[in-house]
Chain A
Amino acid sequence: MKFLGRRLAFYLLTAWAAVTINFFIPRVMKGDPVQSLINRYQGQISTEAEHSLYVLFGLDTQESLWQQYVDYWGEILHGNFGISFTSFPTPVTEVIGDSLPWTLGLVGVATVIAVVGGSLVGILIGWRRGTWMDAILPVTTFFSSVPYFWLGLIAISVFAIWWPVLPLGGAYDGGLIPGWSWEFVSSVLEHAILPGLTIVLASISGWILGMRNMMVTVTSEDYVTVAHAKGLSERRVMFGYAARNAILPQVSGFALSLGFVVSGTLVMEMVFSYPGIGLQLFNAIGGKDYPLMQGIFLIITLAVLVANVLADVAYVLLDPRTRQEA
């Protein structure tokens, strides 16, 4: 399809720009990662190794910038993002690979719950205005307007300290060996409850509000009145005619938020010391770990782009008007 082709070309261009910027950022930044690494090891690294470290980090000043850029692309296409400074000599891909699943699992599932739940509640509130359900909105708005770290800390102090039913933080019980054992999985689930619920609580009001407002707009459309006049059941009118059209902006919003799932909710991972990608990024910044930062930035950028592609595809599937050649 021509429309999707054009969009895809646009996204490829964006991806190229993102990678290129990613390449230049550490090169224009002040500070020398090799020197800071040598300083960290406090003389344990001999000065002969200095040059090889530069080469290893892809910062070989004896090579031209263009050659570095070409090498950089080559490495990226081979899935090699370099070596993390802070957890030297683990490759960046491995560091990201260790933390990304935690974030994806927790934040991803929480986002899906918030979107689905929020949209359903929004549909109902928008459909039956003036009932007790209208009270849901101010309550959820309250939770999303309080700062997240505060919400998280309150949740911890209530459910992990005053009434210790849930763990304080982390992704699983430290004494367990990761694996597909029931013990481990249940521990993971238990550790996910508090951070997951607080994410849902903090983000659901946006989804409710968006869906409700669209429902209110759409229910006054003529085609909804026609659907009533046709004698269709209330449920069919509500879902097949009103919600079906009102959901369109939610879909693109959802796809975009999927992109941000990858960046993790930094604050959540800090509050709950959850070993996700956000915490990793935070540590990388603290430790001047340029390769890791670059790798994470790149992953985030690509995830947002992929989510955008998904949003476009979903929109084309859901709204026939977008299939028209503009």
Chain B
Amino acid sequence: MTPTAPTGVRHPASSGSQNPPVLEIRGLEVSYGYSDSAVRALRGVDLTLHQGEVLGLAGESGCGKSTLVYAATRLLPPPGIITGGEVILHGDEGPVDVLRMSDAELRATRWQDTAIVFQGAMNSLNPVHRIGRQITDAIKAHRPGWSRARRDERARELLEMVGIAAGRITAYPHELSGGMRQRVMIAMALALEPKVLIMDEPTTALDVVMQRQIVEQIVDLRDRLGFSVVFITHDVSLLVEIADRIAIMYAGEIVEQATADEVYRHPRHPYSHGLLTSFPPLHGPRRELQGIPGAPPDLQSLPSGCPFRVRCPHAMPSCARVHPELGPTALGEEQRSVACLLHDPQVRTAEGVELPASLAV
């Protein structure tokens, strides 16, 4: 865990969910493999990204974070198959479903509307091409009218923007440090001023200092250029710091969605609570580190009802029967939702339980 605190970079510009949506994911389902042995990696995910917002996606390894963005951009490697749902991109020509685009349409929207910074800073750049060429070939593919000089000029400008000397445009990836390579990736992703920037654990391979610099840079660029960000990480403390809204994923589903601050201070799902008590806070009173007992479930043989119930300290008999859907919290807070039966008044009455104090702070 990184020793970052939930204070620091807050950004008033991000009014978050009041803005119109740019990317809407509805009921997205993904399986790996066919037939009975298929692993259902995403089970009906709904997620909305608004303009100018930083949306954090958190969860343990294997919960489907990366699968979600790979599926939403149709970059899912085989044997991954999208089995249902839609991904609505609000482009310049109105909303379109990414999953139903032709290959040519898809190619045209890629990088233009959604750009991605991948997990491995080390492997995302082709070792045999100069970084300048790797930045400009995206421009070349989408701006066929631009001259070579103009493309190069843009590449230099982008490098300067992420704090790399423009002269390094002729460098090869192996001549750059890990942090610089990740900056090059960010520069490359911003080449066409995309509406949505997806960052899949962009700082995982970097040291803490570099992590912080990169994160600050992203926030800064977002404020200047106004794109939306989907930021994926298993590092919740980092998310709390930079995200406007956070969606917590568990076993291929979103279990809680709220503003970063609310998730951090008032988690409503037992899993979110567990995640947040797995790392020490730098500010505020000391609290005991608890972690989450058990291991993420096997997606091939999920338990009945709530997938989290076997690890949940508050599990009730109903949890084994009813699969919880995302819905309002027990406290009726606005703009947040949670998928837990404890927040359903009917279930609580039937079971004769109260909402645990830890989930009602």
* Chain A residues whose CB sits within 8 angstroms of the CB of B129 once the complex forms: 240, 244
Partner of B118, one of A222, A241, A244: A222
* B141 interfacial by beta-carbon distance below 8 Å: yes
Cβ of B303 within 8 Å of any chain A Cβ, yes or no, is: no
Alpha-carbon separation in the docked complex, A226 to B187 (Å): 13
Give the docked Cα–Cα distance between A232 and B291 (Å).
44
Q: How far is the CA of A233 from the CA of B137 in the complex (A)?
A: 11
Q: Are B115 and A229 in contact (CB under 8 A)?
A: yes
* Bound-state Cα–Cα, A236 to B116, Å: 19
Q: Which residue of the partner chain, among A226, A230, A245, contacts B128 with CB atoms under 8 Å? A: A245
A245 with B126: CB separation less than 8 A: yes
In the complex, what residues of B have CB within 8 A of residue A321's CB? 127-128, 172, 174
Segment 104-139 of B: residues with Cβ below 8 Å from A: 106-112, 115-116, 118-120, 123-130, 137-138
Which A270-326 residues have C-beta < 8 A from chain B?
A: 318-321, 324
Contacts of B75 in A (CB 8 A): 225, 228-229
Contact call A233/B126, Cβ cutoff below 8 A: no
Interface string of B126-160 (1 = CB under 8 A from A): 11111000000110011000000000000000000
Known: A220-B77, A225-B75, A229-B73. A320 touches B127 (CB 8 A): yes
Contact between A222 and B120, CB atoms less than 8 A apart = yes
Number of interface residues of A (CB under 8 A): 25
CB neighbours of B77 from chain A (8 A): 220, 225
Interface size of B in residues (CB-CB distance below 8 Å): 32
- The answer to whether A231 touches B172 (Cβ under 8 A) is no
Point out the residues of chain A lying under 8 angstroms from B112, CB to CB. Answer: 231
- Which residues 88-106 of B have a CB within 8 angstroms of A? 103, 106
Asked if A71 is at the interface of the complex by the 8 Å CB criterion, the answer is no
Chain A residues with CB under 8 Å of B185's CB are 226
Bound CA–CA A99/B63 (angstroms): 68
B149 shortest CB reach to chain A, Å = 21
- Interchain CB contact under 8 A, A245 and B127: yes
Question: A318-B128, A321-B127 in contact; A226/B137 too (CB < 8 A)?
Answer: no
A231 with B123: in contact, given A226-B118, A321-B172, A321-B174 (CB under 8 Å)? Answer: no
Q: Could you tell me if B123 and A230 are in contact, using CB atoms closer than 8 angstroms?
A: no
Residues of A within 8 Å of B137, CB to CB, are 230, 232, 236, 240
The answer to whether A221 has its CB under 8 Å from any CB of chain B is yes
Closest-CB distance, A310 to chain B (whole angstroms): 19
Judged by a CB distance under 8 angstroms, whether A10 is at the interface is no
Q: Which of B111, B112, B188 has the most CB of A within 10 A?
A: B111
B123 touches A221 (CB 8 A): yes
Q: Report chain A residues within 8 Å CB of B110.
A: 228-231
Asked if A24 lies at the interface with its beta carbon under 8 angstroms from chain B, I say no
Is A142 at the interface (CB under 8 A from chain B)?
Answer: no
* A230 in contact with B126 (CB, 8 Å): no
A3 in contact (CB, < 8 A): no
Contact of B142 among A225, A229, A231, A318 (CB under 8 A): A231
A8 to B148, CA, bound (A): 38
Is A226 a contact of B174 with CB atoms below 8 Å?
A: no
Let me know if B116 and A229 touch, CB within 8 A. yes
Q: Which of B231-260 contact A (CB under 8 A)?
A: none
A16 within 8 A of B: no
User: Does A69 have its Cβ within 8 Å of any Cβ on chain B?
Assistant: no
- Beta-carbon contact of A231 and B128 below 8 Å: no
Q: Which residue of B lies closest to A231 (CB)?
A: B110
Q: Which interface residue of A220, A230, A241, A321 has the most chain B CB atoms within 10 A?
A: A230
B101 CB to closest chain A CB, in angstroms?
Answer: 12
Q: Tell me the smallest distance from the CB of A222 to a CB of chain B, in Å.
A: 4
Q: Which residue of chain B is the closest to A242 with respect to CB atoms?
A: B126
Interchain CB contact under 8 A, A244 and B128: yes
Interchain CA distance A245-B125 in the complex, whole Å = 12
- How far apart are the CA atoms of A245 and B172 in the complex, in Å? 14
Minimal beta-carbon separation of A321 from chain B (angstroms): 5
Closest-CB distance, A184 to chain B (whole angstroms) = 45
Contacts of B107 in A (CB 8 A): 231-233
A223 touches B124 (CB 8 A): yes
- B188-230 toward A: CB 8 Å interface, digit per residue (1/0)? 1000000000000000000000000000000000000000000
- Assembly CA distance A230 to B185 (angstroms): 11
CA distance A75 to B124 in the complex (A): 56
B115 to A, closest residue via Cβ: A229
Chain B nearest CB: distance from A86 CB in Å? 50
Provide a sorted-by-A list of 29 A–B residue pairs whose CB atoms are within 8 angstroms.
Answer: A222-B120, A222-B123, A223-B124, A223-B125, A225-B77, A226-B116, A226-B124, A227-B126, A228-B75, A228-B110, A229-B73, A229-B110, A229-B115, A229-B116, A230-B110, A230-B137, A231-B106, A231-B108, A231-B111, A231-B141, A236-B137, A241-B126, A244-B128, A245-B128, A318-B128, A320-B127, A320-B128, A320-B174, A321-B128
B interface residues (Cβ-Cβ under 8 A, vs A): 73, 75, 77, 103, 106-112, 115-116, 118-120, 123-130, 137-138, 141-142, 172, 174, 185, 188
List the 8 shortest-distance A-B pairs measured between CB atoms, nearest first: A231-B110, A222-B123, A230-B138, A223-B126, A320-B172, A231-B107, A231-B111, A230-B111
